[in-house]
Amino acid sequence: MMNRIGSATGRHTIAIVGGGFCGSALATRLLRSTMLAECDIVLIEREALVGRGVAYARRAYPYLLNVPAGHMSADSQRPGEFVEFARRVLPHAQAGDFLPRALYGDYLEQRLQRAAAEASSGVRLVRVHDEVVAVTPGPRLRLTLRSGAQVLANEVTLALGNAAAAPVPGLDGIPVLDPWSALKHVEPEHSVLLVGTGLTMVDVAVSLETRVRGPGRLHALSRRGLLPRAHSGSAHSATVVDTHRLLTAGSHSVRALTRAVRESVAGGGDWHAV
């Protein structure tokens, strides 16, 4: 076990806490940067794999992405990159397919590995399988890990993902489950309440019906009582979107971007495609 990282060499060190989508994508981008020299990029993730997080973890049920594969590239310069990757595993994958989330995690992991292998000689990736429990200020930021090891860094990025749901008042004695672990605890005779009727509710309901053969009764509760809107056909068609205009507007302000999006769909266009 290395007790200290980034202390003896004096090299510039950037620590990234969290190896989900944001953490791994940032590490990939830094490794490919031409502006860094003699730099360690330390990616700290408590799970064994990176590029996963809650969204793209490997699970017992093959949850699907809620965006067509053709719109899921992590590289704006290569819009078909994810589809190209997916076809190595699923030869018949199409840009309009909704593919398994875990496959996207594989894609992010592969991008990171390739970026590390192709990085300039002075830039290197250091992957740490551990959890940060404290950050102490000083001439260099000191990150203390659960194992007792420490990381000294010039900059730290927190890519912590979604926080756990807050406790629900009045449910003392009633188990409140992480939706992604529900399959482990729900039996066919159980009655289940899903708070919220968005895409996560759909995922959990479908997985329970498939894997548990349906709980005794399934309730879904929301403030508005609405279900997710299905993707229209144009969401994964050859609909022409002026991407350059949207990016230009977004570089000025959120208000300008909002105006550009509204104008793009004002003539009967589909907001999914935008």
Residue 251 CB partners (closer than 8 Å, separation 6+): none
Query: What does the pLDDT average to over 221-236?
Result: 76
State the Cα–Cα distance between residues 263 and 110, nearest whole angstrom. 38
Single pTM value for the model: 0.81
Distance between start and end Cα atoms, the chain: 49
Q: Of the given ranges (18-22, 148-152, 213-217), which has the lowest mean pLDDT?
A: 213-217
Q: With 50 as the cut, is the pLDDT of residue 268 above it?
A: yes
State the Cα–Cα distance between residues 206 and 183, nearest whole angstrom. 11
pLDDT of residue 3: 65
How does pLDDT run across 122-132, given as a tens digit for each residue? Answer: 999 999 999 99
- Beta sheet of 123-129, edge-to-edge order: 123-129, 39-45, 12-17, 155-158
How does pLDDT run across 68-80, given as a tens digit for each residue? Answer: 999 999 998 899 9
How far are the Cα atoms of 2, 94, 142, 205 from residue 177, in angstroms, in the given order?
A: 36, 35, 35, 14
Structural Rg of the chain based on CA atoms: 22
Tokens standing for 75? 């590289």
Query: What does the pLDDT average to over 32-37?
Result: 88
Q: With 50 as the cut, is the pLDDT of residue 237 above it?
A: no
pLDDT of residue 6: 58
pLDDT of residue 236: 47
Q: Of the given ranges (35-49, 69-83, 91-105, 227-241), which has the lowest mean pLDDT?
A: 227-241
Query: What does the pLDDT average to over 191-208?
Result: 90
State the Cα–Cα distance between residues 194 and 61, nearest whole angstrom. 18
SS3 102: helix
**229/142: higher pLDDT:** 142
Q: For 199-263, give the DSSP string.
A: HHHHHHHHHHHHHSS--SEEEEE-SS--PPPPPPGGGGS-----HHHHHHHHHH-HHHHHHHHHH
State the Cα–Cα distance between residues 115 and 33, nearest whole angstrom. 10
Label residue 8 by pLDDT band (50, 70, 90): very low
Q: Which burial class, exposed, middle or buried, applies to 153 when counting CB atoms under 10 A from its CB (0-12, 13-18, 19+)?
A: buried
Query: What does the pLDDT average to over 142-170?
Result: 90
Q: Percent of the chain having pLDDT more than 90?
A: 48
pLDDT of residue 98: 94
**7/108: higher pLDDT:** 108
pLDDT of residue 187: 84
